[in-house]
Amino acid sequence: EGALKLAKRHTGRTGLVSALNSYHGSTHGALSITGSEGFKNSYRPLLPGVAHLRYNELADLQLITHDTAAVILETVQGEAGVRLPQPGYLPAVRQRCTEVGALLVLDEIQCGFGRTGTQWAFEQFGVVPDILVCAKGMGGGMPIGAFISSPEIMVGFQTNPILGHCTTFGGHPVSCAASLATLQVIQEENLLAGVAAKAARLRTGLVHPAIREVRNCGLLMAVEFDSFEVLKPIIDRALAEEGILTDWFLFCDNSLRIAPPLTITEAEIDAAVTGLLRAIQ
Ligand SMILES: Cc1ncc(COP(=O)(O)O)c(C=O)c1O
């Protein structure tokens, strides 16, 4: 909500462009840009002036125009089933935004805070957003989220009116302390350096004729099966018999989610792989 308002305030425009199969949240603004009619239909009317592009389709960048306030994308699409940007895609989006004066907002609520092996996923794809949105891993389990931008853009919220975006619990000291501690642990325990090897260990173990594909960006991973009908009993067994907490994705119901804490050990990975293979078998 804050990122959308800030982009409107900064550009003086109202158009928004986001991706099909994106998920950005349940509130009216976030729901408006979420790329699934099924999720939105019962709550219309929502925000006007929203266009949806196909993620990774360069031809659709023409939807970004001089009326666009912001283009909002997940750097790596989460609920679409872990879809990575193809080489050159995000730089092309960045270039189009800069050309027409639209702000690029990257939603890293799922892929940020180290999950992909760098602090931010966008570091791996050659772009820098104008506004960055994060939450989830940010609090190490405590509730906190943020939208981050430069002082030149943020200043829009300071005047006319003042308090352009405030909330009752914004900046809550306990959540902020938890987030700071999370950052410290990530740095002191050098957790980012271990992400690629941990992901590789999972991928090496997760080999089975029923597995069609494994997609991942660091420890954000999707394991694809033929169909939901094949996957659902596997998930049920993983939960009930193996003690493995997993599910499928909102917009990709043939894929199993793997998103462990960055602190997961090699022994825990091996136990998870063994349990999942048993559940598949
Ligand atoms: C990519 C992404 N953006 C936004 C959200 C919404 O976050 P919240 O539920 O904290 O509003 C989620 C939640 O799953 C998400 O995965």
Interval 11-54: pLDDT, tens: 999 999 999 999 999 999 999 999 999 999 999 999 999 999 99
Q: Which residues pair with 249 in a beta bridge?
A: 252
CA 110, 113, 118, 120 torsion-angle sign = positive
* pLDDT for 191: 98
**Distance between CA atoms of residues 99 and 107, nearest Å:** 21
CATH code for residues 191-280: 3.90.1150.10
Residue ID of nearest Cα to ligand 1 atom 4: 24
- Tell me the CA–centroid distance for residue 210 and ligand 1, in Å: 30
CATH-assigned architecture of domain 2-170 = 3-Layer(aba) Sandwich (3.40)
Q: Which residues of 73-93 are buried (b: 16+ CB within 10 A; e: fewer)?
A: bbbbbbbbbbbbbeeebbeeb
In one-letter notation, the amino acid at residue 184 is Q
Residue ID of nearest Cα to ligand 1 atom 13: 25
**Residue 273 Cα to chain centre, angstroms:** 24
Structure-block tokens of residue 162: 């003042």
- Ligand 1: residues with CB < 6 A are 23-25, 74, 78, 107, 109-110, 135, 145
> Mind listing the pLDDT tens digit for each residue in 239-260?
999 999 999 999 999 999 999 9
List the one residue out of 112, 19, 77 whose CA is nearest residue 257: 77
CB within 8 A of 92, min separation 6: which ones? 58, 61
- Tell me the CA–centroid distance for residue 278 and ligand 1, in Å: 31
- Tell me the CA–centroid distance for residue 262 and ligand 1, in Å: 19
Decide whether 2-170 matches 191-280 in CATH topology. no
- Tell me the CA–centroid distance for residue 254 and ligand 1, in Å: 21
DSSP for 48-104 reads SSEEEEPTT-GGGGGG--TTEEEEEEESSBTTTTSBPPPTTHHHHHHHHHHHHTPEE
Q: pLDDT exceeding 70 applies to what percent of the chain? A: 100
- Tell me the CA–centroid distance for residue 207 and ligand 1, in Å: 30
Identify which of 133, 136, 147, 249 to mutate to test ligand 1's pocket (most ligand atoms within 8 A of the CB): 136
CB within 8 A of 206, min separation 6: which ones? 214, 223, 273, 276, 277
* pLDDT for 176: 98
- Tell me the CA–centroid distance for residue 211 and ligand 1, in Å: 27
Identify which of 32, 33, 109 to mutate to test ligand 1's pocket (most ligand atoms within 8 A of the CB): 109
* pLDDT for 18: 99
Identify which of 21, 110, 111 to mutate to test ligand 1's pocket (most ligand atoms within 8 A of the CB): 110
**In the predicted model, what is the mean pLDDT of residues 117-145?**
98
Segments making up each domain of the chain, as ranges: 2-170, 191-280
Q: Is 133 helix (H, G, I), strand (E, B) or coil?
A: strand
